Structure formats: C-alpha cells, structure tokens
Amino acid sequence: MPRATAPNRRNVKSSPQAAADAHERAKDFLTPSEIEALLEAAKAGRHGVRDNLLILMMYRHGLRVSEAVSLRCDEVNLDQARLWVKRLKNGLSVEQPIAGTELRAIKRYLATRSDGLPWLFISERDQPLTRQSVNYLVGAAAERAGLGPVHPHMLRHACGFYLANQGYDLRLIQDYLGHRDPKHTVHYTRVAGSRFEGLWR
C-alpha cells in the first residue's frame, strides 16, 4: 500500500512590520506647534515666500507631493477664497476654502511672479517643482527648525490628525483628504489624542 504523502506546506513568517497595526507605527505626523516652527523656518530659505506657502498649503489641504507640484494658478480663486484640489490615486477631488492667513500668503507669493506660467509653484528655471525639490526644501526647513527628519507626507498626516483632534467626523475628514475608502481615514480618528480627553477627571 503506497504511503500517504504529507501536504506541501510552506512555513510562512510574517514580518514584524506587516504584523503591526498601522496605529502602532512610530509617530509620522507633526503637531500644530511643530508645523508653526517648520513654516517659520521655511521663510529663511532662498525662496522663503514660495516655500512657506507650499508647506502651508500642503498642511492646510492635506496635499500629497504630486498634488502640490501639479497645482495650477487657475485652480486658485482669490475672489471667492477657494482652491480646487485635484486628488490623485483616484481620490475625491473637492473645492476647499482658503483661510485668511493662507489667502494673504498666496497673494504675497503671486506678487513676486511676472512669468505668466500656469503652475502655482515654479523653480528658478521656470518649471514646476519636482518631487525631489519638495523633499529637499521640506527637509532643509525641518533641519533649520530643529525638528529632525521630516518628509512631505507628514504634512498630510498632520492635517488629518488636526481635523480629528478638532472633533470633526470621519466622513468630513474622509472627503477633505479625498479618501474613497474610509479605512484610510479611520487611522486619524482612532489615534487622535482628543478621543481620550476627560478619562482622568
């Protein structure tokens, strides 16, 4: 009688990173006070007016780098203080308000421009900023501010956590950040410190 063969099993080991829940990762966002320090440090750069505005808009509107560098001047409505945010990755594109301080920063930056180019953020060579240049200028501003390593996507996370800590509901944050799937948004409302306020009164 032939011997039964053992089933072909693979010994699959899951990596610690894959096994860890997203909320168990290291802090990957900036606090409002860290954002303020980063914005102030950006002003000291060679293109301080532009860089300060870029970081401010990436934070206020939760922009990915690719979304920020592809912004066009005609997507900024100065009269109505509105910004058309065209989301990538099949995200939900929405119109968002521009707050007073941001509106003034945009006008201040546009006053330095006389090129007539369509892109909102341009380099010295009159070309749209690249992902690499944004990575560099954010990192340089963070170093001047003494914040340690900072990458641009931390600004998007900072936006999500700020909204969650202000008590806004999941659906609003989801639409504001352009998430199609709420599972990408729940991280902010689940981890936000405001959720645990009052536990030890």
184 an active-site residue?
no
Catalytic residue of the set 153, 168, 180, 184: 153
Strand order in the sheet with 76-77: 76-77, 82-85, 94-97
Question: Over the Cα atoms of the chain, what is R_g?
Answer: 21
What is the identity of the amino acid at 112? T
60 an active-site residue?
no
Catalytic residue of the set 59, 109, 176, 188: 188
DSSP secondary-structure letter at 23?
Answer: G
Q: Quick check: 78 and 120 in contact, CB under 8 A?
A: no
Bridge partner list, 84: 95
179 an active-site residue?
yes
Catalytic residue of the set 61, 64, 87, 187: 64
43 an active-site residue?
no
Give residues with Cβ within 8 angstroms of 178, minimum separation 6.
62, 85, 87, 91, 92, 93, 94
Catalytic residue of the set 50, 61, 157, 179: 179
Catalytic residue of the set 25, 89, 108, 195: 89
List Cα–Cα distances, 170 to 40, 114, 160, 161, in angstroms: 31, 42, 10, 11
Residue with tokens 């690499």: 132
Between helix 100-110 and helix 48-60 the angle, nearest 10°, is: 150
Catalytic residue of the set 156, 157, 162, 176: 156
3 an active-site residue?
no
151 an active-site residue?
no
- Which residues belong to the active site? 64, 89, 153, 156, 179, 188
